[in-house]
Amino acid sequence: MSHLLTDEQKMIKDLCRQIAREKIQPVAAEYDEKEEFPWPIVKILAESDICGIYIPEAYGGMGGGILELAIATEELSWGCGGISLAFAATGLGTFPIILFGNDEQKKKYLPRIAKGTIAAFCITEAEAGSDAGSIKTTAVKDGDHYILNGTKQWITNGGEAEIYTVIAMTDKNKGARGATAFVVEKGTKGLDFGKKEKKLGIRGSATREVIFTDCKIPKENMLSKQGMGFIVAMKTFDYSRPGVAAQALGIAQRALDEAVKYSHERKQFGQFISSFQGIQFMLADMAIQVEAARAMVYRAARIIDSGAKDISKLSAIAKTFASDVAMKVTTDAVQVFGGYGYMREYPVEKLMRDAKITQIYEGTNQIQRSIIAAHLIKELKKK
Amino acid sequence: MHVVVCIKQVPNTTQVRINPETNTLIRDGVESIINPFDMYAIEEGIRLREKFGGKVTVISMGPPQADQALKEAISMGCDEAILITDRAFAGSDTWATSYVLSQAIKKIKDFNVILCGKQASDGDTAQVGPGISTHLDIPQVTYVKKIEEISEKSARVERMMEEGFEIIEIPLPCLFTVVKEINEPRLPSLKGKMKAKKAEIPKWSAEDLNCDFDKIGLDGSPTRVVKIFTPTPRKGGEILKGDTKEIVDRLASELKNEC
């Protein structure tokens, strides 16, 4: 199936699939078991120019858009939904710079990221999850500097990344309008990392606390203007959600592929289980859902790349649908495998564990539905 | 440093099937790939360029569709590619093939090192690399597993042996055939793939290479393939059971009968 991709997009798909098959898939179970960060894979992605896919050519990247990013994320996640996050979550940490950085900031950070430097986005705190408005990390102006204090939680790529984009409160009294975005580099005095979390899935990805203690950064590290922090975050999520959707899509496609293959290997009652209608209908339903998710993710990505302004609803719809599909399809894949599917020796239980996070992070699917509903009501009022 | 890498396009199968009537390889429906051993030669060529500068030229003798193998080499990072193709080359054995490749390298002229895979996965002869160096009258080392040192004038390499390795010093220009222990070939890069897509690969014919027509093709090939056949699978051995003296006697008489 071509999915109406350009030659360049097909090249990205082919190359990422080759990396997923030859380099990621063989080590996925090991990284899942050991919970290590996949540096050798990051090196391969950097050498293959994948790290710079979505970064403008002027800043050392390949000049691709959200669709290119989504295609790469999908294919890499087919190999491993955890390992692919080193790439995909770097995208999340990079979008604030692409979308809101000035030329100097872009020149300083983007070429490094295109060459394989890892980035991370820091917004979540212990008491500020879905309610991102209640973050407590502060940034206090001190002459030509800002001083950051507070603890960010569950930061993907935390500790491994060199470049952190951070949302902190510059004016607590102003609520959401009192937040500001900053770039903090690893090695800055006062930037430390907490314990590495032990997770259900995506265990080849690092998740840590990022701790700021009187962390002094030059005011040149501020992205956009003071008070724009939430706009930076929300816009970033609009652009990054198709990436989560693509991660979910890759995991779902893998589950479907594994289930189809196994159904034609496993014999019961003297025949392949693929000959039973009960299995056939499950496989067909999985395929329908995966294909619908792909259509939705690619469409959302194309519309964003076309320069459309109002993309929050579309982005939220794609993320919600694809991640719900991933959870359903991976659960069904385990069912097709039966008892074997429940065993770690087979690849599908990991897919089910990896799929779950896509319904939770970058805004739970309940928050996505709130965003979608809010837009529906706003659109009604406009009429 | 100018490195010339010689590659061959081969069918992607370890289970080559043979047409029992014509005794030729069945290539239908089999995907073509770069000979796996040549991938190590490509990688080593690119590494030499990365270390010393210069360029890597990859060449292949084959049918027009072998340009896909050359494009893949470009996508990995080779700078230039040349396809050596002519109907007059058809039927060339390893001697004629190495003659044609040596003519092409003479035309390329300024090279420091020629790299080949140790052998091709379809013919398995391991003769073309040494043949090229013979035609060019330059020194060669086969089964190279490591290039320890290399300069414009000479190189020191490790040559794989059945047990251990030899260390050989050799003046340049020279030819190496490499084994898989030498490196791990890289994947293509996105920029490389884009360059490969746009690349126009020059085609050199027998005439372009000033080939002596008596030395190429079937007529120029001293090798005659008398027969290619699939050996019949070996039957399992027989295990003798029973009283030791009896089975020793039986074994002895069976062995006598066999001889």
Backbone angles phi, psi at B10, to 5 degrees: -130, 160
Final residue in a domain of this structure, among A184, A213, A229 = A229
What pLDDT score was predicted for residue B72? Answer: 96
Query: Stretch A219-228: mean pLDDT, rounded?
Result: 96
Rounded distance between C-alpha atoms, residue A46 and residue A55, angstroms? 13
Q: How many domains does chain A fold into?
A: 3
8 Å CB contact of A22 and B191: no
* A147 in a structural domain: yes
Q: Where are the domains of chain B?
A: 2-228
What are the structure tokens assigned to A357, written together?
């996070």
Q: How far is A22 from chain B (nearest CA, A)?
A: 9
- Helix H or strand E encompassing B3: strand B2-7
8 Å CB contact of B187 and A11: no
Do residues A100 and A14 share a domain?
yes
Q: CB distance from A12 to chain B under 8 Å?
A: yes
Across the A:B interface, residue pairs with CB atoms under 8 Å apart total 31
Residue B197 in contact with residue B71, Cβ under 8 Å? yes
Rounded distance between C-alpha atoms, residue B231 and residue B218, angstroms? 26
Mind listing the pLDDT tens digit for each residue in A135-148? 999 999 999 999 99
How far from the centroid of its chain's Cα atoms is residue A383's Cα?
Answer: 35
Query: With contacts defined as CB-CB under 8 Å, which chain B residues touch A24?
Result: none
Mind listing the pLDDT tens digit for each residue in A291-317? 999 999 999 999 999 999 889 999 999
Q: Does domain B2-228 have CATH number 3.40.190.10?
A: no
What pLDDT score was predicted for residue B24? Answer: 67
Q: Is the model more confident about A383 or about B68?
A: B68
* A346 in a structural domain: yes
Mind listing the pLDDT tens digit for each residue in A83-116? 999 999 999 999 999 999 999 999 999 999 999 9
| End-to-end CA, chain B | 60
Query: With contacts defined as CB-CB under 8 Å, which chain A residues touch B72?
Result: none
* Radius of gyration, CA atoms only, chain B: 22
Whether A176 shows a pLDDT value over 90: the answer reads no
What pLDDT score was predicted for residue A218? Answer: 97
Q: How far is B193 from chain A (nearest CA, A)?
A: 7
Q: Which residues in A27-62 are b (16+ Cβ under 10 Å) and which e?
A: bbbebbeebebbeebbebbbbbbbbbbbbbeebbbb
* A2 in a structural domain: no
Query: With contacts defined as CB-CB under 8 Å, which chain A residues touch B43?
Result: none
Task: Look over chain A and give the mean of its residue pLDDT values, rounded to a whole number.
Answer: 96
Pairing of β B154-160 and β B165-171: antiparallel
What pLDDT tens digit does each residue of chain B (259 aa) get?
999 999 999 988 766 677 777 666 676 778 889 999 999 999 999 999 999 999 999 999 999 999 999 999 999 999 999 999 999 998 889 999 999 999 999 999 899 999 999 999 888 889 999 999 999 999 999 999 999 999 989 999 999 999 999 999 999 999 999 999 999 999 999 999 999 999 999 999 999 999 999 999 888 889 888 877 777 778 888 888 889 999 999 899 888 887 6
Final residue in a domain of this structure, among A100, A118, A136 = A118
Q: For an interface test with A, give the residue of B34, B72, B193, B197 to mutate (most A CBs within 10 A).
A: B193
Rounded distance between C-alpha atoms, residue B194 and residue A345, angstroms? 39
Q: For an interface test with B, give the residue of A9, A11, A51 to mutate (most B CBs within 10 A).
A: A11
* A1 in a structural domain: no
Q: CB distance from A49 to chain B under 8 Å?
A: yes
What pLDDT score was predicted for residue B14? Answer: 65
Residue of A nearest to B196 (CA): A11
What pLDDT score was predicted for residue B241? Answer: 87
Query: With contacts defined as CB-CB under 8 Å, which chain B residues touch A50?
Result: 190
Do residues A184 and A255 share a domain?
no
The residues of A that are catalytic are: 362
Q: Residue A360: which residues within 8 A CB-CB, separation 6 or more?
A: none
Rounded distance between C-alpha atoms, residue A258 and residue A250, angstroms? 12
Assign residue A195 the CATH number of its domain: 2.40.110.10
Helices A348-356, A25-34: crossing angle, 10 deg rounding: 60
What pLDDT score was predicted for residue A96? Answer: 97
Query: With contacts defined as CB-CB under 8 Å, which chain B residues touch A15?
Result: 187-188, 190, 193
8 Å CB contact of B190 and A50: yes
**Whether the bond into B173 is cis, omega within 30 of 0:** yes
Do residues A93 and A135 share a domain?
no
Assign residue A28 the CATH number of its domain: 1.10.540.10
What pLDDT score was predicted for residue A132? Answer: 77
Do residues A263 and A325 share a domain?
yes
Among A7, A19, A53, select the one facing B187 at the smallest CB separation: A19
Residue of B nearest to A53 (CA): B190
What pLDDT score was predicted for residue B228? Answer: 75
Q: CB distance from A11 to chain B under 8 Å?
A: yes
Final residue in a domain of this structure, among A118, A135, A170 = A118
Residue of A nearest to B193 (CA): A11
Among B186, B191, B197, select the one facing A7 at the smallest CB separation: B197
Do residues A184 and A86 share a domain?
no
Rounded distance between C-alpha atoms, residue A9 and residue A5, angstroms? 6
Query: With contacts defined as CB-CB under 8 Å, which chain A residues touch B191?
Result: 49, 62
Mind listing the pLDDT tens digit for each residue in A351-378? 999 999 999 999 999 999 999 999 999 9
Do residues A255 and A325 share a domain?
yes
8 Å CB contact of B187 and A48: yes
Do residues A208 and A252 share a domain?
no
What pLDDT score was predicted for residue B28? Answer: 73
Assign residue A303 the CATH number of its domain: 1.20.140.10
This prediction's pTM: 0.87
Do residues A46 and A80 share a domain?
yes
Query: Stretch A203-221: mean pLDDT, rounded?
Result: 97
Mind listing the pLDDT tens digit for each residue in A11-35? 999 999 999 999 999 999 999 999 9
Share of chain A above pLDDT 90, in %: 94
Domain of residue A223: give its range. 120-229
Rounded distance between C-alpha atoms, residue A265 and residue A279, angstroms? 13
What pLDDT score was predicted for residue B60? Answer: 96
Q: CB distance from A18 to chain B under 8 Å?
A: yes
Question: Which residues share a beta bridge with A308?
Answer: none
DSSP state of A128: B
* A242 in a structural domain: yes
Q: CB distance from B226 to chain A under 8 Å?
A: no
Do residues A147 and A179 share a domain?
yes
Do residues A16 and A85 share a domain?
yes
10 Å Cβ neighbour count for A382? 6
